[in-house]
Structure 1
């Protein structure tokens, strides 16, 4: 009997763990090589994980909703033809850079997984804190300051749940003994939770799915972390609308890509960030991390009603054609649940086109750890007073509202307002002589 250890594969550059959604096979079932064995989730992206070999599953070590680190053994498979299995596993290991261990004749080789003692911790103040870590911190009464002080053993210093549990195990004093900034404990609210009236036979309960729980945690965390301020401007995009209407068919024919307004919005935001780089930052306690890369996240609604934010990387370095290709590819992948983990990570600024749903304007919640988010309202035609060479006249113009929510810890009214006005200027002054 040839036993193969089936491990959690590496799902992306900065992915150190994944959540099991469901097993498609049970103990005793036969699985073909390359057949999907289970579905896992990293952040908000679901992925199929195939079996590296053909064989019978003899043990499953982790079940639904378990959060498992990359490289951890998930199951044991009694493989058919160990030589062929070994070849496939080694080939997969060479592609992913992960070492696969094969156990022959029931003998399990010792794991080479590093211990906490021989891991060199490197802290990254800008490392993403996952909703799972936030949930653990809330249950254990860990403040965000104490949580950020824990060295992360994941890729690029990312904090993992094992780091938090190790810290809790070795903590020499309870959290309540740690003085707060004002040397006082915050008062515990005595306000009772409002009662929810439930009418049996009429009302029904819908349990949040995994993604909705993550969104809920992320939104609450953002509101608790950043003091939100929202500024608004109105822009005249008549020239932009006319140019797009005149060129969309030509663009589609020449580049085989749809020409929507989104790449133009991304381009305008990227240009404005170059002008105001302090809007492209993250906050780490008393430090401001200024990001060199300009990666624009696009808040995108999924068919399920949930929200995801695919990212246009290095948007300031791309022309309109390249941006259109990126936007269309990411939007299509979002609709078909085909986004890769790395495609929803690394954003430094986010836009949300609330006009898609007919909204005039919005007050978006900041996508942590960013410090600002831009909402774009619906483009509507209406009569406006404009100044011409003949004086003031009333004309039909295409108008839209832009609203910028920003973190008032580091973005004041001058910076927020100036940046927002600059985005509006780029849209109003769009070069309609642009040739395609």
Structure 2
């Protein structure tokens, strides 16, 4: 294993480019070696034949250890034995080569013997089997580049392997594949690359918050495979109880009794029953949150969106939930929210019904696992099953839609959780006191 820097003590053999028994010419690349600081192609010091790979691909080898045994011709290597014979004392056995022989990159070998033939990527694809060297991995961590994004970067190394220069160029270009999606290779008809006419009109520059929202939404949609499930809930009992008690609640606590704290309460109870919905994905690990902090998607006067958070919603009674939600909504509308008011959300509710929407398909508030949208509460004629027979009654109905990250939440969990939220709303205790 050749020395590749003062502080380098070991290297990883990425792959062998010359198989055992194959011949090679001086300057041919024998193997590729990765370290935590530099990636190297190891050239042949002279023409010859590969006798044995002492170390295998992906094996970590200390500097100076034997990685291969070569048979070198005397054309280009003065130190090789005449007529291809092995030195005295090594005939018939494979002894440990001398220090100069171990370091395949011979000091006397000219620098221009390394043949670099970069392979240019003609189109954007995802390399699922990409090898990430320690150097590239450390660069990616420093710039917060995920493994998924690394797989999108065209590599110019052997078989598309990423080099340090590839990552540097990619970063200098502004990380163009940060939110990109791969285009599958298909045969037959290809959709042409169209240039769309975006029309003319008044130009409105996005403010900083809108740009951040746009980036966050694109990131969420491109990172998490979104699936949306729907249920319909009969909120008649909840609506009637709230209408009958909102005045008394206001007089007693000086707080408005909206549907928001009632929704937060129903969701928090359902999360207690299905804690896996209250989670985040960290690489290959799922983090199930201990706290239940409910975010409320709230529109600002500017039209932008912000998510204030009700902390420990499962531990608060209706009075505390009403105070908390009213305070946060008021701060949002007055642009007085503080940093702590919008941090720590583990699950988000988006009340699209506020704007008259029947239902919605919300985008997950990363890094959460799911988001619930509540639609407009609408009176409808429904068939009700009673002991004395079916009847048609006017009921207050609402659609609930749950968008979830299918990487960590499957249909069974999502459907069960959503049904539990609906049940909590439908089975509202109309005799409850406050």
Same fold (TM over 0.5): yes
Measured in 2, the distance between the counterparts of 1:346 and 1:191 equals 44
Equivalent residue pairs, number: 267
**1:144-163 matches, cutoff 5 A:** 150=141
Deviation track 1:176-230 (CA, whole Å, cap 9, x = no partner) reads: 69xxxxxxx966999646423433xxx1111101110000000000001000000
Corresponding residue number in structure 2 for 1:102: none
Corresponding residue number in structure 1 for 2:373: 375
Q: 1:316 aligns with which of 310, 314, 317?
A: 314
Give how far 1:279 is off: 0.2
Measured in 1, the distance between the counterparts of 2:138 and 2:194 equals 27
Corresponding residue number in structure 1 for 2:385: 387
Deviation track 1:21-73 (CA, whole Å, cap 9, x = no partner) reads: xxxxxxxxxxxxxxxxxxxxxxxxxxxxxxxxxxxxxxxxxxxxxxxxxxxxx
Measured in 2, the distance between the counterparts of 1:274 and 1:384 equals 31
Measured in 2, the distance between the counterparts of 1:423 and 1:367 equals 19
Q: 1:173 aligns with which of 136, 161, 164?
A: 164
Q: Provide the TM-score with structure 1 as the length reference.
A: 0.58
Corresponding residue number in structure 2 for 1:337: 335
Corresponding residue number in structure 2 for 1:29: none
Q: 1:279 aligns with which of 277, 280, 301?
A: 277
Corresponding residue number in structure 1 for 2:304: 306
**1:43-62 matches, cutoff 5 A:** none
Deviation track 1:82-122 (CA, whole Å, cap 9, x = no partner) reads: xxxxxxxxxxxxxxxxxxxxxxxxxxxxxxxxxxxxxxxxx
Measured in 1, the distance between the counterparts of 2:199 and 2:406 equals 39
Residue 268 (structure 2) pairs with residue 267 (structure 1): no
Deviation track 1:364-419 (CA, whole Å, cap 9, x = no partner) reads: 00000001000000001111000112111111100000000000001000000000
Q: 1:362 aligns with which of 354, 360, 363?
A: 360
Please provide the CA RMSD for this pair. Answer: 2.7
**1:105-184 matches, cutoff 5 A:** 150=141, 173-175=164-166
Higher alpha-carbon deviation: 426-435 or 189-198: 189-198
SS in 1 for 2:301: coil
- List alignment gaps of at least 5 residues for structure 2: 1-131, 146-161, 169-180, 186-190
Corresponding residue number in structure 1 for 2:217: 219
Runs of 4+ residues deviating >2 angstroms: 145-152, 174-177, 185-199
Describe the shift of the 1:431–1:147 C-alpha distance in structure 2 as closer, same or farther (beyond 3 A): farther
Measured in 1, the distance between the counterparts of 2:193 and 2:261 equals 47
- List alignment gaps of at least 5 residues for structure 1: 1-141, 153-158, 161-170, 178-184
